[in-house]
Chains A and B, each alone.
Chain A
Amino acid sequence: MQCTDACVFPYPGGDSSLRRMALLARELGFDSLVAAGSAGGEAYGVEIVGMKVPGGSKEGEGQPPHCGTGREGRTITVARAGDYNANRALLRSGKVKVLRGIQCTPRNSFDHILSRIAAEKCIAVDIDMSSLTSGGGPLRQRALQRYADIVRLHWRFEFPVTLSSGACSILGMRSPRDMESLGRLFGLEEDEAERALRTVSQLLSPGRPVEVVG
């Protein structure tokens, strides 16, 4: 698992079935994707990682397992970012792996202190490309500002970052090449974007510390 779209919303949350999204993901060059409302599995050679939401927010909860692919797969815990206190509590708990929706939160909701905690606990911050591809005007401007802030903090504190299309439709999905191009809009370099696309696999199977034997 080297290249992962860190969040998609298949049918019934969106207009495309999970299998169709997996088929397109394979064509675009992904080998896995994180899908809301799925228990995980595999379709068309693409690994589907389920999205678990602690406390059960709107994302990924209560959706029928229509898009299940038969095989029980891996899941990743994703939380929606909120104000500063909520983010601090989420990061301190260490129960989440990815914090998403940071572009919808106030500017002071993620600062250098939370960046340090995220780096220590190895919690990723998700950069959702749907804010750039589906909307324009003030929403896109705000998302670009917030992502530029996140990238600056990422350079300084080196917490993991994931890239997601946040797509509800196959028309919202973007290839790794397109994600890299969009990443340049807010200062994410090509190699950093490639690393961000690999982050989900690293979060799911973290490397163990080196043990000295003998």
Chain B
Amino acid sequence: MKPLPPTLRENRRYVLARIDPPWFETDSRTLYEALAETVTALYGDTGMARIQPAVISVRPGYAIVRCIRSTEADLLAALAAVNHAGPQKVAIRSLRTSGTLLALRRAIGGAVTPPATETGEARFQGKTYASIRYQIEKVDLFENGFKSQELLFLTAEDLEE
């Protein structure tokens, strides 16, 4: 089948979004399911058909999401309302909107690099946690208990106290 010429194709908008926490590894499918659920909850099936959200690429800590032109405001609201991707609690924060993928990738350049993480152990409030440290200051603590998995977001300064 011959592809549609560019002038007949629908115009789209591409959104660069940051995924928090950055150590959370996800794939396009999981992210799409979370986004589709939120778009359907907020705008219904007609809204979903109108916006046509799609996850173009996912890198650790970042994702590029696509929608139909003029629906980007709806997509941004839906991205802000996403709170889970699979079992993990996440936050998706839109950073930049662009008309072409090329322009978006050129604009982000080397800025979008996953932070180097350092794993270890840390003590906080008398308990021992597994820790992930990144961007110098940030420390995320995990307690793997029998009943629950406690997750704490602290800074290096908090641990020193």
Task: State the majority secondary structure of interface residues on B.
Answer: mixed
Contacting residues, chain B, for A23 (C-beta < 8 A): 137-138, 155
The answer to the question of A28 belonging to the interface, with a C-beta cut-off of 8 Å to chain B, is yes
Q: Which of B137-161 contact A (CB under 8 A)?
A: 137-138, 150-155, 157-158, 161
Number of A-B contacts (CB under 8 A): 78
The answer to the question of A72 belonging to the interface, with a C-beta cut-off of 8 Å to chain B, is no
Our pick among B21, B38, B73, B150 for the contact of A171 (Cβ within 8 Å) is: B21
Mask of B60-99 contacts with A, CB within 8 angstroms, 1/0: 0000000000000100110111010000011101100000
* Contact (Cβ within 8 A) B83 A177: no
Known: A20-B138, A28-B93, A136-B41. A174 touches B155 (CB 8 A): no
Query: Would you give the shortest CB distance from A8 to chain B, in whole angstroms?
Result: 12
Q: Which of A139-169 contact B (CB under 8 A)?
A: 140, 169
* Contact (Cβ within 8 A) A133 B158: no
- Identify the closest chain B residue to A19 (Cβ): B155
Interface residues on chain A, number (Cβ under 8 Å): 29
Contacting residues, chain A, for B116 (C-beta < 8 A): none
Q: Which of A166-211 contact B (CB under 8 A)?
A: 169-175, 177-179, 181-182, 184-185
* Contact (Cβ within 8 A) B155 A17: yes
* Contact (Cβ within 8 A) A171 B77: no
The answer to the question of B42 belonging to the interface, with a C-beta cut-off of 8 Å to chain A, is yes
Query: In the bound complex, what is the Cα–Cα distance between A171 and B93 (angstroms)?
Result: 10
* Contact (Cβ within 8 A) B154 A178: no
Our pick among A66, A140, A174 for the contact of B93 (Cβ within 8 Å) is: A174
Contacting residues, chain B, for A171 (C-beta < 8 A): 20-21, 83, 89-91, 153
Query: In the bound complex, what is the Cα–Cα distance between A66 and B41 (angstroms)?
Result: 39
- Chain B positions near chain A (C-beta within 8 angstroms): 20-21, 38, 41-42, 73, 76-77, 79-81, 83, 89-91, 93-94, 137-138, 150-155, 157-158, 161
